[in-house]
Every structure is written in structure tokens, then in C-alpha cells.
Chain A
Amino acid sequence: MTLEQGIFILASLLMLGSALAMVTARSMFVAALWMIGTFAGVAVLFILLNAGFLGIVQILIYIGAIAVLILFAIMLTPDVMGLKPGPRYTGQWPLAAVMASTLAAVIVLLLVRAGNDWHIADAAPNVTDFAVQLGEAFMTTYLLPFEVASGVLLVALIGALVIVRDE
């Protein structure tokens, strides 16, 4: 086993373990903290995939922004400490569990059977100065996503502000 594989396994265990802890935690706040653990694991996977830029963006956006937003939203709800009695799950949770585990089993089985039968390229992607490549791509091929993104963000901002304000 190489070092790379070891890191991959550790990061995956961290990620999946945190994800499991997240969906089973009683307190919403603790669940959000586990979610941050999952995001960190995903960031490590991105870095292992030679996508260091995305790994850092994952930390910046998911951990630094979205997780904080969720924590703030939890603070606005009652039962911040997660002490109120009552079930964590809705009545349909056994059904959900069966569905999710069936789906997982099917996909994993298919993937294992497919083995390494992918059109895998021989070389690793050329990632020197990735940010520059990305910037040039934004101004040429991917100009539309670049401009649409600002529109999406504007709509989200205005929509959320309209909904959330106490008038």
C-alpha cells in the first residue's frame, strides 16, 4: 500500500464516519460540526485528485461560508442545544434507510463489477498554474457560466433577503 492510498483511506474514513455521525446526531449543532468533518475529508480527496484549487475552494466555501451560514441558521431556531425530547427522524426513516442502503449496495456492486473498465487517460492532467488556466477558461470557453453565476448569486441574495427579513 502506498502512502497515497493510506491517505485516501484515512480521508475516506473521516468523511464517511463524519457523514454517518452527522445523520445520526441528536443535536443539530453537533450534526453541523460533523458535516464540517465531512467537508474536510472531501477537500483532502480533491487535493489527492490533483485539484488543489478545488480543495482550497472547498475549505473556503463549504467550511468557511456554507457551514457558518448553517450554524447561524441553527442559532436562530429553538432548541439550540438539542435538548428537547422527541425523535430525530420522521416516521418514514426505516423506509429511507432501506432505500439508501439498497441504492448504496446496487451502485457499489455495479462499480466493483465494472472494475477498472474505464477509458482512463494515461497521463495526469497538466496542472501547472491552474488558477491561470481557470481564469483564461472563464474568459473564453466558460464565459456563460461566469456571467450566469453572478445572476444566480444576485437572485439568491435578493430572494433570501425578501424571505428572511422581519417586516
Chain B
Amino acid sequence: MSSIPLNWYLIVAALLFCIGLFGALSRRSAIGILMGIELMLNAVNINLVAFWRYVEVDGLAGQMFAIVVITVAAAEAAVALALVRALYRSRDTVTVEEIDLLKW
């Protein structure tokens, strides 16, 4: 048995998630928002692996889920950053407040 209670991992992950949430909600730069989302995904992964370690003993679902999350996070980052680049080319800015084409 590990000397670290499951609670500790969950609390740390929750805090990380909330910091990421703040970043995603408040940053002006689109890349900053994306980085906040990456933090949130990492927090989720900590939870998945912690539950795998403490609750699910003879199975791989927790880790498998974490790997899928990593895959999707990478795909998401690739597409989102491509979008940022395309926005910058057409609107000359990466600031979300100035990207208001759909706001009429």
C-alpha cells in the first residue's frame, strides 16, 4: 500500500484543474486559452491514473483512458494552433476579444 492517500492526488488534480480553468477563461491570447485547456486535461489524467492505481487493480482501463486523452489532447492542440495561425493571417491578431466576426 502506498503511503500517500488517494485524497491527496484528487485534491492536487482539482487545484490544477481550477488553475487551468482560470487560464482558459481569462487569457486574452488564444494560445493562452489553449494552454489552460491542456492543464485541465492533465488534471483529468491525474485523476484517471490515481483511480486506476487505488481502485481498479486488475485492469488497464484507467491508463488506457489516459492514453486516449493524451492522443486527443495532441490532436486538439494541433488543430487549435492551426486555427490560431489562420486567424492571425486573416485578422492580424491572436487576441480573442478582437476576433469578433460572428458578433453582430
A residues bordering B, Cβ < 8 Å?
2, 4-5, 8, 12, 15-16, 19-20, 22-23, 28, 31-32, 35, 38-39, 42, 45-46, 48-51, 53-54, 57-58, 61-62, 65-66, 69-70, 73-74, 76-78, 86-93, 95-97, 99-101, 103-104, 107-108, 111-112, 114-116, 118-126, 133-134, 137, 141-142, 145, 149, 152-153, 155-157, 159-161, 163-164, 166
Contact = CB atoms under 8 A, between A and B. Distances in A.
Contacts of A77: 29, 31, 84-85, 88, 94
Contacts, number: 240
Interface in B49-104: 49-50, 52-58, 60, 63-64, 66-68, 70-79, 81-86, 88-89, 92, 94, 96-97
B79 A163 contact: yes
Contacts of B27: 23, 88-90
List 5 A-B pairs, minimum CB-CB distance, nearest first.
Answer: A156-B75, A96-B25, A23-B23, A93-B26, A104-B18
B4 A8 contact: yes
Interface residues of B, number: 74
A112 B7 contact: yes
Contacts of A159: 79, 82
B68 A145 contact: yes
Contact of A116 (B5, B18, B36, B88): B5
Residue picked from B16, B66, B68, most chain A C-beta under 10 Å: B16
